[in-house]
Amino acid sequence: MITISPIERILRGIAITLVILFFMFPIFWIFLMSFQTNETILRVPPSIVFEPTMSNYSALITGKLETNAGLLEFEFMRNLWNSFFLSVSSVAVGLLLGVPAAYAFARLKFRGSEDIAFTLLSFRFAPPLLVLLPLTIYFQQIGLANTYVGLIWVYQLIVLPLILWIVRGYFEDIPADVEHAYRIAGHSWAATFRKIALPLAGPGIAAAGLLAFIFAWNNFIFALVLASADKQPVTVGALAFVTASGIQYGQIAAAIVLSITPTLLLALYAQRYLVEGLSLGAVKG
Amino acid sequence: MRPPVLELIDVDKVYGFGRPNAVRAVEDLSLTVNEGEIVALLGSSGCGKTSTLRMVAGFEGVTKGKIKIAGREIQHLPPAKRGVAMAFEGYSLYPPLTVRENIAFALKSQRISPDEAARRVAEIAELMEISDVLERYPASISGGQQQRASLARALVRDADLHLLDEPMGQLEPQLRALLRGRIKHFIHERRLTAILVTHDQTEANALADRIAVMEEGILQQYDTPAKLKDRPANLFTGTFIGEPPMNVFPARVSSSERETVFDLGSGVSLKYPAAIFPPDLRSRLSQESDVCLGIRPHAVRLVDGGLPVTVSVVQWLGDQTHIAAQFASRTLVSVIHDRARFAPGNTASIAISAEDLHIFDADTGVAIGHGKVAA
């Protein structure tokens, strides 16, 4: 047990408080904004004393907003569903393709395996806009523009390299002889992958899936270019609140709160897997 | 007649085959293991012994040659279909299972009834002294216990061939000596066949019926422990087997009708009546001029009126004394079983009997004669 002097403890407390304030304040402020009207949000000087209203949330849920310029219609709930559907599907496809590929890259050293793995990683280096222009033209010609399938496919550019490289590391950390011991006891290569490698890399796969989900959820540019209103995720959908007659800050804040809630809950829930994943190294012992 | 349990026929293993940095780990290895036999693959690190074992298990491909188990060619089969059990050097227990589950695991897939499996696990656990940790997880037991669990997991199985990779490297000396005896008994009692990889010659001598000595991927000699010691096939096995190692002296041999003389240089020579060597060895020796003489430290006798040596180091090891002395400008080690009567700087005198001489070809290292017998 390491003993800490009282002064050190106090200094640490202050430092942690400052960091938390710095990072949490914007989220806290957005949370407050989501219960205010545009008038109270924009008053000078700003104040945290206000009369809370649920109008932003009800407007988002009903999809109708009365503004002084007239009725504004949007499909926020649809966007939220799109985000959810696109992210979950992309991660599912990414795991389905990426986990076996990661296993192959970790266990089998074949000619050019490093080059292929690096090429897949390099998808993450390229600026998305560079890829998008030709991709849009192709997609329009083969009829994939503005379809879920097309979007999920493009999302693999984000999801697949991430899953592949994280999970590969976890597979490499499992001593090969643990799998050998299972195989020599009369099991096939495929059974070893299912029964030994997958469970042992489980926390790592969960961590990679979670991270990939967050990246997919936060994606903006692919969906902006390739999807029209009915396929758009929240990240793009929130643009609807920037109107010619003004910016609907209250709705934007409420939309942010609603759209970060799922990822936040997921991250909180999966935290223990992330920690478990990091301590997987104990297997080596 | 039943075919031998294992046959290796001209097996080659090349890592990075066809590339400029290719490494030839095993070269033209041919080896036969009979039913009920324990064979040790003995050699220093990188001699190809573990590569050989992993080729038999199926974790390394065979570059060239054939491997047969019970007469069936298996080099193209996956590990699961080869009918072998293996204990790994790194233990490789499954972390999410208890020690008991780890040991019983393979029995379950062999469709052995739960009662029978439980009985076998209890028996092997007692043998390995791990009965008290059966319900614990691998991460919570010591390295030595993990190693015994891994050994138990391999030995509990029914298999044509049991492969044991450095099975006792992590155990403390007393336990090692105890388990050696038990494992040997267990294997022989059940007529199991085992191959053991080790760099520890004591372990190989104690456990194995035959030892395959390997160096740089080449099988040097494959024989019983006694033969390896008494009749090493070449200078490598001669110096590798035996503790402390064999003393080696280059010598110029000259034979006449009456005498055979080994001139060790620096004015020192060993003289023997020619008649004590058999005619075939004498005729071999008459063709050679330069040989290497190997003399085991236990064969160097301290006598009165022998050849003079100058004692340089004396080590008392608790049950024997190692004396290093200057002899013919080289170091000669001798072992005696009582406390040494010598101190460094003393002069002693030694004698070496003709039957204790190991004579090797100076160029190739191949044995020419052992004692009074031609090789």
DSSP readout, B104-149? HHHHHHTT--HHHHHHHHHHHHHHTT-GGGTTS-GGGS-HHHHHHH
Cross-chain residue pair A186–B85, CB shorter than 8 Å:
no
Average pLDDT, chain A: 85
Please check the confidence at residue B371 and state whether its pLDDT lies above 90.
no
Express each pLDDT in B167-203 by its tens digit: 888 888 899 999 999 999 999 999 999 999 999 999 9
Structural domains of chain B, count: 2
Rounded (10°) CA dihedral B45, B47, B51, B56: -120
Q: Are residues B59 and B147 in the same domain?
A: yes
CATH fold label, A76-284? MetI-like fold (1.10.3720)
What is the Cα–Cα distance from A199 to A179, expressed in whole angstroms?
12
Amino acid B215: pLDDT: 93
Name the residue type at position A114.
Answer: E
Report chain B residues whose CB lies below 8 A from the CB of A184.
Answer: 57-58, 79-80, 82, 84-86
Report chain B residues whose CB lies below 8 A from the CB of A187.
Answer: 80, 109
What residues have CB less than 8 Å from A201, skipping those under 6 apart? A167, A170, A171, A174, A280
Cross-chain residue pair B94–A182, CB shorter than 8 Å:
yes
- Nearest chain A residue to B150 by CA distance is A181
DSSP summary character for residue B51: H
* Token pair listed for B77: 């089969």
Q: Which of A177, A188, A200 sits opposite B95 (nearest CB)?
A: A200
* Closest to B198 measured CA to CA, from B186, B185, B211: B211
CA distances from B332 to B95, B261, B270, B313 (A): 51, 19, 14, 10
What residues have CB less than 8 Å from A104, skipping those under 6 apart? A113
Cross-chain residue pair B109–A187, CB shorter than 8 Å:
yes
Distance from CA of A4 to the nearest CA of B (A): 30
Question: What is the enclosing helix (H) or strand (E) of B282?
Answer: helix B279-287
Report chain B residues whose CB lies below 8 A from the CB of A182.
Answer: 94
Q: Are residues B207 and B352 in the same domain?
A: no
A160 — pLDDT class (breaks 50, 70, 90):
very high
Its ipTM equals 0.80
What is the Cα–Cα distance from B154 to A121, expressed in whole angstroms?
41
Amino acid A282: pLDDT: 41
Assess B287–A contact: CB distance below 8 Å, yes or no: no
Distance from CA of B281 to the nearest CA of A (A): 50
Amino acid B340: pLDDT: 65
Greater model confidence, B373 or A91: A91
Tell whether B1 is covered by a domain. no
Q: Are residues B154 and B206 in the same domain?
A: yes
Q: Which of B85, B89, B94 sits opposite A184 (nearest CB)?
A: B85
Express each pLDDT in B118-158 by its tens digit: 999 999 999 999 999 999 999 999 989 999 999 999 999 98
Express each pLDDT in A127-138 by its tens digit: 888 888 888 899
Final residue in a domain of this structure, among B220, B240, B260: B240
Express each pLDDT in B222-242 by its tens digit: 999 999 999 999 999 999 998
Which of A14-18, A62-66, A259-263, B248-252 shows the lowest mean pLDDT across its residues? A62-66
Q: Is B228 exposed, middle or buried (0-12, 13-18, 19+ CB in 10 A)?
A: buried
Assess B93–A contact: CB distance below 8 Å, yes or no: yes
Amino acid A281: pLDDT: 44
The percent of residues in chain B predicted with pLDDT above 70, rounded, is 99
Report chain A residues whose CB lies below 8 A from the CB of B109.
Answer: 185-187
What is the Cα–Cα distance from A185 to A188, expressed in whole angstroms?
9
- Contact (CB, 8 A) for B328 and B300: no
Q: Are residues B65 and B167 in the same domain?
A: yes
Final residue in a domain of this structure, among B189, B207, B240: B240
Q: Are residues B104 and B191 in the same domain?
A: yes
| Pairing state between β B38-42 and B210-215 | parallel
Report chain B residues whose CB lies below 8 A from the CB of A285.
Answer: 139
Question: What is the enclosing helix (H) or strand (E) of B223?
Answer: strand B218-223
Please check the confidence at residue A189 and state whether its pLDDT lies above 50.
yes
Assess B16–A contact: CB distance below 8 Å, yes or no: no
- Contact (CB, 8 A) for B152 and B103: yes
Cross-chain residue pair B92–A181, CB shorter than 8 Å:
yes
* Closest to B299 measured CA to CA, from B225, B238, B350, B340: B350
Q: Are residues B228 and B259 in the same domain?
A: no
Cross-chain residue pair A187–B139, CB shorter than 8 Å:
no
How many CB pairs below 8 Å do chains A and B form together? 61
The percent of residues in chain B predicted with pLDDT above 90, rounded, is 61
* Token pair listed for B22: 């290719």
What residues have CB less than 8 Å from B352, skipping those under 6 apart? B270, B295, B299, B300, B301
Cross-chain residue pair A285–B86, CB shorter than 8 Å:
no
What is the Cα–Cα distance from B133 to B99, expressed in whole angstroms?
7
Q: Other CB atoms closer than 10 Å to residue B207's CB: what's the count? A: 25
Please check the confidence at residue A273 and state whether its pLDDT lies above 60.
yes
Cross-chain residue pair B110–A186, CB shorter than 8 Å:
yes
What is the Cα–Cα distance from A200 to A277, expressed in whole angstroms?
10
Q: Structural domain of residue B267, as residue ranges?
A: 247-374
Residues of A with a Cβ under 8 Å from any B Cβ are 175-178, 180-189, 196, 199-200, 282-283, 285
**Residue B284, domain CATH:** 2.40.50.140
Tell whether B30 is covered by a domain. yes
Query: Buried (b) or exposed (e) across A94-117, using 16+ Cβ within 10 A?
Result: bbeebbebbbbbbbeeeeeeeeeb
- Mutation to test the B interface, candidates A108, A110, A170, A177, most B Cβ within 10 Å: A177
* Token pair listed for B45: 């690190």
Q: Are residues B95 and B193 in the same domain?
A: yes
Amino acid A283: pLDDT: 43
Assess B370–A contact: CB distance below 8 Å, yes or no: no
**Residue B231, domain CATH:** 3.40.50.300
- Contact (CB, 8 A) for A185 and B106: yes
Q: Are residues B116 and B172 in the same domain?
A: yes
Cross-chain residue pair B88–A182, CB shorter than 8 Å:
no
Report chain B residues whose CB lies below 8 A from the CB of A180.
Answer: 57, 59, 79, 86, 88, 92
Amino acid A284: pLDDT: 39
Q: Is the peptide bond before A45 cis (omega within 30 degrees of 0)?
A: yes
Cross-chain residue pair A185–B78, CB shorter than 8 Å:
no
Q: How many residues in total does chain B contain?
A: 375
Q: Which of B78, B80, B95 sits opposite A283 (nearest CB)?
A: B95
Q: Are residues B87 and B112 in the same domain?
A: yes
Question: What's the start-to-end Cα distance of chain A, in Å?
Answer: 23
Give the pLDDT mean for B257-261: 87
What residues have CB less than 8 Å from A143, skipping those under 6 apart? none
Q: Are residues B263 and B216 in the same domain?
A: no
- Contact (CB, 8 A) for B40 and B211: yes
Domain boundaries, chain A: 6-73, 76-284
Express each pLDDT in A20-60 by its tens digit: 999 999 989 899 989 988 888 888 887 778 888 888 888 88
Alpha carbons within 13 angstroms on the beta-carbon side of residue A136 total: 13
Assess B210–A contact: CB distance below 8 Å, yes or no: no
Amino acid A276: pLDDT: 63
Assess B103–A contact: CB distance below 8 Å, yes or no: no
Report chain A residues whose CB lies below 8 A from the CB of B155.
Answer: none
- Mutation to test the A interface, candidates B84, B86, B140, B156, most A Cβ within 10 Å: B86
- Contact (CB, 8 A) for B7 and B74: no
Express each pLDDT in A223-262 by its tens digit: 888 888 788 888 888 887 887 777 888 888 888 898 888 8
Cross-chain residue pair B153–A181, CB shorter than 8 Å:
yes
What is the Cα–Cα distance from B104 to B108, expressed in whole angstroms?
6
A69 — pLDDT class (breaks 50, 70, 90):
low
Task: Report the number of secondary-structure helices (H) and strands (E) in chain A.
Answer: 13, 4
- Mutation to test the B interface, candidates A109, A111, A173, A184, most B Cβ within 10 Å: A184
Cross-chain residue pair A184–B139, CB shorter than 8 Å:
no
CA B63 to chain centre: 25
* Token pair listed for B110: 């062999």
Q: Which of B80, B96, B110 sits opposite A183 (nearest CB)?
A: B80
Final residue in a domain of this structure, among B217, B240, B263: B240
Q: Are residues B23 and B116 in the same domain?
A: yes
Greater model confidence, A165 or A125: A165
Q: Is the peptide bond before A262 cis (omega within 30 degrees of 0)?
A: no
* Token pair listed for A29: 């402020």
Q: Are residues B86 and B126 in the same domain?
A: yes
A119 — pLDDT class (breaks 50, 70, 90):
confident
Average pLDDT, chain B: 90
